[in-house]
Amino acid sequence: MNTLFSSIRDAYLRAKLLLKHLGEDKIDLAALEARINASPGIPVPNPTTSFWLENPPFPGLVDIRSKSLPRSADIIIIGSGITGASVARTILSECAAMGVKRRVVMLEARQICSGATGRNGGHMKCTPYESFSEYKQRFGAQRAKVLVDFQTSHIPILVDLAHQEKWDVAEARDVETLDVFYDEEAWIEGQHQVEELRQGMPKEAQNTELWDKEAAREIYKVGEHAYGAISFQAGAVWPYRLVTSALNDLLEKYPSGFSIETHTSVENISTTRSPNQPFIIHTSRGDIIASHVVHATNAHTANLVPGLRGKLFPVRGTMSAQRPGTAFPQVDGSKSWCLINNKGYEYITQRPGTVDAIDGLGGEIMIGGGMMRMKGLEEFGKASDAETSYMAGCHLSGVLPMGFGLENWGEDAPGGRMKSLWSGSLGITADHLPFVGRLETSLTGRNPMKVVRSKNKSESVPAPGEWIAAGYNGEGMVNAWLCGVALGLMILGREASTLKIPGKPYGTLDEWFPKEYLCTQKRVTKASVFQLLARW
């Protein structure tokens, strides 16, 4: 009955979507559906070159792997981005505290952290006023608070983690962020949402300020076309260096319990006849058996989890690193921005330092976006990061002087404006929330033998299985780390753990992890991509 209802609803929403855009930008909905429902495959071997991956602080990690693939492991983590690093760190730390050993092997199809984490914008930012308004409509005010708190808590947790662990190369920092509105209707809506946040979450809204056109131009040096701006607190980071710092520490601390196998793509997963190690992971370098399999590949997850096709799919995004103009205010990495218009937005951070001051690096403006609403649908369902979008590249190449105003930009810096342009795959879910937790066999298509527990054996240890933390909808830096922590605790049956370590919230899992993120067959069936597209 649920499947029938879902099909009827999708047919209705599909027709509604076509009618909505009949007189606007025409879309080939059949081609779009085909891309979204197709397997995203494995990461391509020839990606565009991301600025973040250059000059790695740990060169030995870039292509790290064993001489031969391990034959077995307790836990296999597929993916070496921020999610995989968080899962591994949580499992290894908790096991050390319990005095037990678990063998964790991380598999990566390409070089280390070369997927979405190594290609994103470096933002640690959600938009509390917008998120609270959306979540309140969907789940009610109380649950909206939980969801917003979960996302915003990533900023102090990750900044504190980097500082305590002395990962200075990660450049994790607090910033003042500014949402600048270049569309009057969006500006009016934003003001209403801020008031809604102030009423619903007054403490969290204390640092959220509204600035009219004149104040925004005078104080924040934005362009004349801006209608107004909203400022609040956020964070920024060099994501690749955060993750590789964490992985380097794990390899040093747990040399016999943790290994990373780069250039080892997972081609398939099958099952054994063993209830304790029921999975065979078939890779480009051979097979490895395991008790648990963690899918931490975000946009590529549905390749190995066919039940998620059409529900978790890739969207190709475009990022760039640019030199600021000669008149651009020097803020030493203390600010970030979002330029919002009626067709889309651009997200911007700036690295600390002055332009090209140390080894040709410093002060880069990291700007991504350029997907203009329905035209942006052309990037839906595209997992390859071997190419960039022509139109997105054109937009990103020219938006900065106009967005900030020609008088605030000045001349282009010596060496030219554009330093690097690349692409990356975002993982988008049909209901716009991450999928986290144990994967039901109806989603994987694999039915491992069940463990028969003796009466004397504790039932608190979870049975072997496949797990997921993916689908961050372009907001991975305020979702992925704690989703990874939560998943690591679930795998070990440590939901009640209050172990105090940097990077982990205080309290039991139920006290800080949103239940709305849990991945169930019921939720997957209910999620409608047409409802998502109607909002795009």
- CATH number of residue 207's parent domain: 3.30.9.10
Confidence at residue 535, expressed as pLDDT on a 0 to 100 scale: 66
Residues 56-115: tens digit of each pLDDT: 999 999 999 999 999 999 999 999 999 999 999 999 999 999 999 999 999 999 999 999
Compute CA distances 136 → 391, 418, 435, whole Å: 35, 40, 20
- Asked whether residue 481 is assigned to any structural domain, the reply reads no
Residue 12 covered by a domain: no
Residue found under tokens 């810096």: 413
Q: Compute the 3-state secondary structure of the chain and give helix, strand, coil in percent, each to the nearest 5.
A: 40, 20, 40
Does 67 map to a domain?
no
Give residue 531's pLDDT: 80
277 by DSSP, 3-state: which? Answer: coil
Residue found by looking up tokens 């694999």 in the block: 446
Supply the pLDDT for residue 23: 46
Number of domains composing the chain: 1
315-337 CB burial, b ≥16 within 10 A, e <16: bbbbbbbbbbbeebeeeebebbb
pLDDT value at residue 456: 56
| Residue 397 domain-assigned (yes or no) | yes
- pLDDT on residue 451: 77
Residue 29: its pLDDT value, please?
83
Q: Which amino acid is at 529?
A: V
Residues of the chain with confidence (pLDDT) below 70: 1-27, 372-376, 453-460, 535-536
Is residue 24 one of the residues assigned to a domain? Answer: no
Does residue 344 belong to any structural domain of this protein? yes
Compute the distance between CA of residue 295 and CA of residue 469 in angstroms, rounded to an integer.
7
Q: Is residue 372 part of a domain?
A: yes
Q: What is the pTM of this model?
A: 0.94
| Phi–psi pair at 342, nearest 5 degrees | -80, -5
Q: Does some domain include residue 232?
A: yes
In this prediction, residue 454 carries a pLDDT of: 59
pLDDT of residue 227: 98
- 8-state DSSP, 358: B
pLDDT tens digits for range 303-352: 999 999 999 999 999 999 999 999 999 999 999 999 999 878 999 999 99
Residues 6+ apart with CB under 8 A from 420: 49, 50, 51, 320, 321
Residue 376 sits in which domain range?
A: 170-237+313-429
